[in-house]
Amino acid sequence: MAPPLRTMMALCAPAALVAFVVRPNPGSSVIRAPASVPAAATSNTQKQRVGPLFAKPLAYEVTHKPAANSSIILNLDVPGETTQLCYDKAIRALSKEAGNSIPGFGNKGNKGNTKHPPEVIERHFGMEEVKGQSLKVISELVVNEAINSLDLQAIGSAELVQDISVVTQLFTPGVPMMLEVKMDVWPEVNIVKEYTGFELEVEEPPIDEPRVAAAWKGLQERNVVLEDTEEGYAAQLGDSVIANMMPFRENADGSKGEQLPNIASGDGVDIVLESGRYMPGLAEGMEGVKAGETREIRITFPDKLGPQGGDLEGTKAVFEVEAVEVMKRNVPEVNEEFAQSIREGLTLEELTTEVEKAVMEETGTSKRDTRNKAYEEALLETCSITIPETLIVEQAREKFAIMMTEFKDQGESDAKIQSMITKEAG
Element (H, E) at 340: helix 336-342
* Concatenated DSSP letters of 254-290: S-EEEEP-SSS-EEEEEEE--TTSSSTTHHHHHTT--
Please tell me the predicted confidence (pLDDT) of residue 353.
93
Q: Which of 285, 282, 252, 253 is nearest to 265 (CA)?
A: 282
The alpha-carbon radius of gyration of the chain (Å, integer) is 35
Q: Which of 259, 240, 262, 237 is nearest to 250 (CA)?
A: 259
- Distance of alpha carbon 248 from alpha carbon 264, whole angstroms: 11
Residue type for position 182: K
Residue 413: strand, helix, or coil? coil
- Distance of alpha carbon 356 from alpha carbon 350, whole angstroms: 10
- Distance of alpha carbon 360 from alpha carbon 375, whole angstroms: 19
Answer yes or no: pTM beyond 0.75: no
Phi, psi of 294 (to 5 degrees): -115, 135
Residue 42: strand, helix, or coil? helix
Please tell me the predicted confidence (pLDDT) of residue 47.
30
Residues in CB range of 270: below 8 A, 6 or more apart: 240, 241, 242
Strand partners, 240: 272, 327
β-strands 177-184, 256-259 pairing: unpaired
- Distance of alpha carbon 309 from alpha carbon 12, whole angstroms: 43
Contact 59, 83 (CB under 8 A): no
Phi-psi region of 210 (alpha: psi -120 to 50; beta: other; left: phi over 0): alpha
Q: Which long-range contacts (CB under 8 A, 24 or more apart) does 305-308 make?
A: 305/411, 306/409, 306/410, 306/411, 307/408, 307/409, 307/411, 308/263
Burial per residue of 225-256, b for 16 or more beta-carbon CB atoms within 10 angstroms, e otherwise: eeeebeeeeebeeebbbbbebbbbebeeeeeb
pLDDT tens for the 426 residues of the chain, in order: 333 322 232 333 332 222 222 222 333 333 333 333 333 333 333 332 333 445 556 788 888 888 888 888 999 999 999 999 999 999 999 998 888 778 766 555 445 456 788 999 999 999 999 999 999 999 888 888 888 888 777 777 778 888 989 999 999 999 999 999 888 888 888 888 888 887 888 887 888 899 999 999 999 989 999 999 999 999 999 999 999 999 998 898 888 889 887 666 788 989 999 888 888 888 899 999 999 999 999 988 877 766 555 667 788 899 999 999 999 999 999 999 999 999 999 999 999 999 998 988 887 777 788 888 888 988 888 988 888 888 888 888 888 888 888 887 776 767 777 777 765 555
Q: Tell me the HSE value of 93 on the side-chain side, using a 13 A CA sphere.
A: 18
Please tell me the predicted confidence (pLDDT) of residue 275.
84
Please tell me the predicted confidence (pLDDT) of residue 231.
92
Please tell me the predicted confidence (pLDDT) of residue 159.
84
Residues in CB range of 213: below 8 A, 6 or more apart: none
Q: Which of 289, 243, 245 is nearest to 265 (CA)?
A: 245
Strand partners, 76: 62, 179
- Distance of alpha carbon 322 from alpha carbon 267, whole angstroms: 9
Residues in CB range of 258: below 8 A, 6 or more apart: 248, 249
- Output the CA–CA distances (angstroms, integers) from residue 55 to 37, 38, 40, 366, in the order listed: 10, 8, 11, 63
Q: Which of 23, 95, 34 is nearest to 64 (CA)?
A: 23
Please tell me the predicted confidence (pLDDT) of residue 8.
30
Report all structural domains of the chain as residue ranges with CATH numbers, in order of start.
8-187 (3.30.70.1050), 225-330 (3.10.50.40)
Phi, psi of 271 (to 5 degrees): -105, 115
